């Protein structure tokens, strides 16, 4: 059954394999792409979400690279570590990208093309970069100013970016698997987490974190990748259709996701969470030394180059 | 040859035991530090790396010591010679599988040679190598089992002892 | 997929260890599909070892082994003897009570069954119990140990199903004590019927002073589960980390309170533990490519559609699942059962509004029972091996005990509060 039948039918087989739940924007987007591809007739696309194939995004990307016909939603930070392209981390760095609209222009920038070609040399194609939500602080105590975060035990990214953010905001960065964050906050092993609202609402965080501070420090992106081998195996017109469909749906669902955020914040508020609009300038200033000292070891002038190419 | 094997056996136990104690100490420490609000963002990755090494090497120690055995619900009704013959075939199949695991874990480690842990400046391939090393070690253990069964089957001393404890 | 199943059955019948049976059967799936590179199979093996929640397994195995060498076990045995000395089938009752007390320090049914058969077996044979009966009571009552927290079955269910292990632990408390009650009644009835071991007329009545004397020593072991749950509740450690605290606690009590832990027996416990852990991890790791293969051919979807087709009543469905697990448990290793079936069953029962903690405790119990059921069961062969009992005799004598456990589970299906009351009380 399954993919075996597809392989023998002469159609182009492709599996979208994600780790998020079926209800998230990312999973819905992949289903929408698969529907369009299947309706076209040249493709046999299926979607496996919620980690059905594997719960490890990097492993799925490796499988794609090895030749399994997968499209995998990863993110620029993961790809930066996995394929040793440190400069690509800037897409996930705090307060660099602050407006989802820039993602429309991003694929046309020289920098993005450089990173893409570095990936392609390693057998991976970055098809599209989709908006996946701003991350904010969800805490047990109210956070209005940077110093309120001081000393809090917050679950953040366990990578250099996460540590740099913790250093400049003054909280203790605690690595805990995402699934254990809810009970850890509930039982007092953590004072909060930084996360996007879709994940917070999807996991009923209103039960454990009575406060949200709208700091918008990271703009999360989903980077859809597949292997060069998969693309090269397609006839030219099919490949073009395939890439076009994913890019269009990425833009469309990026916007859908953005619009859905208001409703999700409302849902948090309806469940008794206090949402604090902080002074973003104050938080951005606290992060400024990160770029001045070049904590993340970017190439010289990278930030200016990116802003210039994005016309910011 | 036997001397080398017993030295390797001992070395494996020491590495595995030390890793196990470190793993516990380390997880204990990270919980302790968190209580005192100290950052430790690489604790998960390091614990997982230690777990892979201790688990896979531990599996080899268990395999060699005869702890990992199948169920002889059907085969125990067979004549002694046939039982040993089936045992030999089982070991040969396992040996082949271990050979595949060894070669392909090395190939996977090579594929991932560039990847770094997000939280630690060390290659991600280190975790893959745990399986390569354990597979190699299990290949040696399986060869010893094959030698023992072959002696029982074809050797001059064909004493009909049951699956002897190792 | 047919090739996978054929290999699975043939290798199993040839007497190949289960870890290799699963792994090699799955390898054939990868080899026969050019689309799936073999590196992917190896990668799935490695990834299975990369779960933080799994850490609790090696830690609690080690803690349990340390308890055995540090004098904690022997003190609990003293307490169990005290509590049962005026009962019918008193020596068999010691085993049931001992498994309940051990429940708080050990998570492994097989280890508990082996330990108690070794200690109580010779004594029971001398008094006149039949071998099959001795093995049955020691083996099946060890299921209590695996139900009362800590419990390896609950940890593995929690880590596969991404359910709070802290809550699962708390959920096992009432079912564990209820099982003790069911098995004590069964022991009493069967030993009266078989005229085993009547209470001695001159056995002195139990006094509070006597219990108090014993508790002075055994309280350190009895406190153990309380400390674990309190530590989790107050955020000192997460459930995955709790095993590391258990090890440290066992070392401290063994070294400084009971003064029986030496460097030599520490090393023995350490080697036993990493071997046990390696053996379990090998099964779990090798099932990685197997799960991948069955997902690839959509077996989980097919199976859950089939089960959904039978009934949509949650209780009936859970009873069917438990029956299914009991049957698969007869032939499939318990870890394999957890890994392959939790991801299929849990979403199904959740979609019907069945509490995941409630289901987890039921599933963990029935799957762990699989190690005690013929024809294939690790605990069964371990206890039968210890006193050289024919497995057929065990099978016959174990029927009343198995029936008691199944009856308890069937009752629990309809009383969710018996499972969820304590977790809700502790964790809100
Ligand atoms: Na017992
Ligand atoms: Na237990």
* Total number of domains constituting chain C: 1
pLDDT band for position A132 (cuts 50, 70, 90):
very high
Q: Assess if residue C30 is contained within a domain.
A: no
**Average pLDDT of chain C to the nearest whole number:** 88
pLDDT single digits (tens) A9-31 = 688 999 999 988 888 899 999 99
- Contact between A91 and A76 (Cβ < 8 Å): yes
Residue A172 and residue B118: Cβ atoms within 8 Å?
no
Q: Using an 8 Å CB-CB cutoff, list chain B residues near A153.
A: 34, 37
List the domain range (segments joined by +) for residue C372.
49-197+218-427
pLDDT single digits (tens) A187-204 = 888 999 999 998 898 888
Q: Which two tokens stand for residue B86?
A: 């089936």
Residue of B nearest to A61 (CA): B112
Of A53-57, A262-266, C58-62, C151-155, the range with the highest mean pLDDT is A262-266
- Provide the number of CB pairs (under 8 Å) joining chain A to chain C: 79
**CA nearest neighbour of B21 among C279, C115, C277, C102:** C277
pLDDT computed for residue A4 by the predictor: 54
Partner residue facing B73 (CB), from C43, C282, C376: C376
Q: Using an 8 Å CB-CB cutoff, list chain B residues near C279.
A: 58-59, 62, 67-68
- Contact between B104 and C42 (Cβ < 8 Å): yes
Residues 6+ apart with CB under 8 A from C218: C75, C76, C78, C79
Which of A172, A188, A194 is best to mutate for the B interface (most B CBs within 10 A)? Answer: A172
Q: Where are the domains of chain B?
A: 2-153
Partner residue facing A184 (CB), from C238, C300, C302: C238
Partner residue facing C39 (CB), from B23, B35, B108: B108
pLDDT single digits (tens) C148-160 = 988 889 988 987 8
pLDDT computed for residue B157 by the predictor: 55
Interface of B with C in 120-159 (CB under 8 A): 127-128, 130-131
SS (H, E, C) chain B: CHHHHHHHHHHHHHHHHHHHHHHHHHHHHHHHHHHCCCCECCHHHHHHHHHHHHHHHHHHHHHHCCCCCCCCCCHHHCCHHHHHHHHHHHHHHHHHHHHHHHHHHHHHHHHCCCCECCCCCCECHHHHHHHHHHHHHHHHHHHHHHHHHHHHHHCCCCCCCCCCCC
Q: Assess if residue C37 is contained within a domain.
A: no
- Min distance B52 CA to chain A CA atoms (Å): 16
- Contact between A116 and A126 (Cβ < 8 Å): yes
On the 0-12 / 13-18 / 19+ scale of CB atoms within 10 A, C381 is: buried
Name the CA radius of gyration of chain A, rounded. 20
**Average pLDDT of chain B to the nearest whole number:** 88
pLDDT computed for residue B163 by the predictor: 46
C76 and chain A: CB distance < 8 Å anywhere?
no
- Contact between A106 and A129 (Cβ < 8 Å): yes
pLDDT computed for residue A289 by the predictor: 94
H helix count then E strand count, chain C:
21, 0
Q: Using the mean position of ligand 2's atoms as its centre, give its distance from the Cα of residue C64 in Å.
A: 9
- Min distance C49 CA to chain A CA atoms (Å): 12
**Average pLDDT of chain A to the nearest whole number:** 91
pLDDT band for position A7 (cuts 50, 70, 90):
low
Q: Using the mean position of ligand 2's atoms as its centre, give its distance from the Cα of residue C198 in Å.
A: 30
Q: Assess if residue C210 is contained within a domain.
A: no
Q: Assess if residue C223 is contained within a domain.
A: yes
C292 and chain A: CB distance < 8 Å anywhere?
yes
In DSSP terms, B134 is beta-bridged to none
Phi, psi of A222 (to 5 degrees): -100, 120
pLDDT band for position B161 (cuts 50, 70, 90):
very low
Partner residue facing A180 (CB), from C39, C238, C343: C238
Q: What is the rounded average pLDDT of the residues B50-65?
A: 95
Q: Quick one: which H or E segment has residue A155?
A: strand A153-155
DSSP string, C349-375: HHHTT--HHHHHHHHHHHHHHGGGSSS
Q: Assess if residue C22 is contained within a domain.
A: no
pLDDT computed for residue C232 by the predictor: 81
**CA distances, C232 to each of C38, C85, C229, C360 (Å):** 41, 36, 5, 19
pLDDT band for position C297 (cuts 50, 70, 90):
confident
3-state secondary structure of A204: coil
Interface of A with B in 138-197 (CB under 8 A): 151-153, 156-160, 162-163, 166, 172-177, 189
Query: CA angle at residue A29 from A25 to A32, to 5 degrees?
Result: 140
Q: Is 70 exceeded by the pLDDT of residue C368? A: yes
Q: Is 90 exceeded by the pLDDT of residue A120? A: yes
3-state secondary structure of A29: helix
The pTM assigned to this predicted structure is 0.85
3-state secondary structure of A158: coil
Q: Quick one: which H or E segment has residue C30?
A: helix C18-31
- Contact between C222 and C104 (Cβ < 8 Å): yes
């Amino acid at each position: 059954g399954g993919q075996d039948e597809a392989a023998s039918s002469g159609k182009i087989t492709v599996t979208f394999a994600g780790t998020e739940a079926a209800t998230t924007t990312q999973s819905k987007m992949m289903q929408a792409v698969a529907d369009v591809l299947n309706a076209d007739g040249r493709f046999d696309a299926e979607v496996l979400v919620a980690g059905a194939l594997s719960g490890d995004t990097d492993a799925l990307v490796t499988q794609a690279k090895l030749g399994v016909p997968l499209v995998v939603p990863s993110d620029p930070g993961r790809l930066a570590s996995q394929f040793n392209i440190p400069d690509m981390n800037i897409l996930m760095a705090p307060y660099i990208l602050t407006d989802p609209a820039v993602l429309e222009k991003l694929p046309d920038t020289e920098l993005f093309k450089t990173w893409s070609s570095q990936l392609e040399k390693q057998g991976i194609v970055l098809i599209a970069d989709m908006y996946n939500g701003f991350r904010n602080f969800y805490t047990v105590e109210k956070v209005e100013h940077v110093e309120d975060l001081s000393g809090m035990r917050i679950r953040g990214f366990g990578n250099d970016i996460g540590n740099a953010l913790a250093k400049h905001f003054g909280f203790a960065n605690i690595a805990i698997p995402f699934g254990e964050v809810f009970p850890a906050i509930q039982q007092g092993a953590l004072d909060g987490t930084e996360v996007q609202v879709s994940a917070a609402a999807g996991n009923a965080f209103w039960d454990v974190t009575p406060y949200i501070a709208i700091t918008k420090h990271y703009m999360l992106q989903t980077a859809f990748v597949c292997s060069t081998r998969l693309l090269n195996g397609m006839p030219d017109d099919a490949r073009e259709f395939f890439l076009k469909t994913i890019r269009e749906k990425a833009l469309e669902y990026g916007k859908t996701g953005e619009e859905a955020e208001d409703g999700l914040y409302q849902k948090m508020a309806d469940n008794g969470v206090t949402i604090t609009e902080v002074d973003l300038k104050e938080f951005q200033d606290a992060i400024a030394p990160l770029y001045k000292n070049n904590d993340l070891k970017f190439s010289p002038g990278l930030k200016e180059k990116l802003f210039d190419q994005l016309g910011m | 040859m036997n001397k080398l094997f017993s030295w390797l056996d001992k070395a494996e136990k020491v590495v595995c035991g030390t890793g196990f104690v470190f793993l516990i100490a380390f997880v204990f420490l990270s919980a302790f530090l968190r209580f005192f609000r100290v950052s430790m963002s690489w604790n998960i990755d390091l614990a997982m790396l230690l777990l892979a090494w201790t688990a896979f090497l531990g599996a080899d120690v268990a395999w060699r010591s005869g702890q990992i055995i199948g169920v002889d619900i059907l085969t125990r009704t067979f004549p002694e010679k046939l039982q040993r013959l089936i045992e030999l075939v089982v070991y040969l199949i396992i040996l082949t599988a271990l050979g595949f695991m060894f070669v392909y874990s090395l190939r996977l480690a090579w594929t991932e040679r560039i990847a770094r842990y997000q939280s630690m400046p060390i290659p991600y391939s280190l975790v893959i190598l745990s399986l390569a090393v354990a597979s190699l070690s299990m290949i040696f253990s399986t060869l010893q089992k094959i030698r023992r069964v072959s002696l029982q089957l074809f050797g001059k001393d064909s004493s009909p002892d049951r699956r002897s404890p190792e | 997929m047919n090739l996978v199943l054929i290999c699975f059955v043939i290798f199993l019948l040839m007497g190949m260890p289960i870890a290799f049976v699963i792994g090699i059967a799955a390898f054939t799936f990868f080899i026969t599909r050019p689309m799936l590179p073999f590196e992917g199979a190896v990668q799935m093996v490695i990834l299975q070892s990369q779960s933080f929640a799994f850490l609790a397994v090696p830690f609690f195995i080690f803690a349990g082994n340390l308890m055995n060498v540090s004098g904690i076990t022997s003190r609990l045995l003293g307490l169990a003897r005290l509590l049962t000395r005026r009962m019918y089938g008193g020596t068999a009752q010691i085993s049931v009570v001992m498994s309940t007390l051990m429940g708080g320090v050990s998570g492994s049914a097989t280890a508990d069954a082996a330990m108690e058969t070794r200690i109580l077996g010779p004594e029971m044979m001398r008094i006149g119990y039949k071998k099959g009966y001795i093995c049955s009571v020691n083996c099946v009552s060890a299921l209590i140990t695996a139900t009362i927290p800590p419990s390896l079955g609950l940890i593995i269910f929690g880590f596969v199903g991404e359910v709070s292990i802290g809550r699962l632990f708390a959920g096992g408390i009432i079912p564990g004590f209820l099982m003790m009650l069911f098995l004590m009644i069964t022991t009493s009835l069967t030993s009266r019927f078989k005229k085993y071991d009547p209470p001695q007329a001159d056995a002195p009545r139990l006094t509070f002073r006597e219990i108090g004397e014993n508790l002075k020593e055994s309280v350190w072991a009895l406190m153990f589960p309380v400390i674990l749950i309190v530590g989790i509740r107050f955020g000192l450690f997460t459930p995955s980390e709790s095993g590391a605290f258990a090890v440290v606690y066992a070392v401290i009590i063994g070294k400084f309170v009971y003064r029986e832990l030496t460097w030599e027996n520490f090393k023995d416990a350490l080697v036993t533990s990493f071997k046990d852990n390696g053996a379990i991890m090998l099964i779990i790791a090798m099932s990685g490519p197997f799960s991948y293969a069955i997902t690839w051919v959509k077996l989980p979807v097919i199976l859950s559609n089939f089960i959904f087709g039978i009934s949509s009543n949650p209780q009936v469905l859970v009873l069917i699942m438990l029956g299914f697990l009991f049957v698969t448990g007869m032939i499939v290793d318990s870890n394999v059962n957890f890994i392959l079936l939790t991801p299929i069953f849990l979403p199904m029962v959740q979609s019907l509004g069945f509490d995941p903690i409630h289901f987890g405790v039921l599933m963990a119990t029935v799957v762990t029972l699989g190690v005690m059921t013929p024809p294939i069961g690790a605990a069964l062969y371990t206890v039968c091996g210890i006193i050289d009992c024919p497995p057929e005799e065990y099978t016959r004598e174990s029927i009343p005990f198995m029936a008691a456990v199944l009856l308890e589970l069937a009752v629990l299906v309809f009383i969710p509060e018996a499972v969820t009351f304590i977790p809700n009380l502790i964790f809100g």
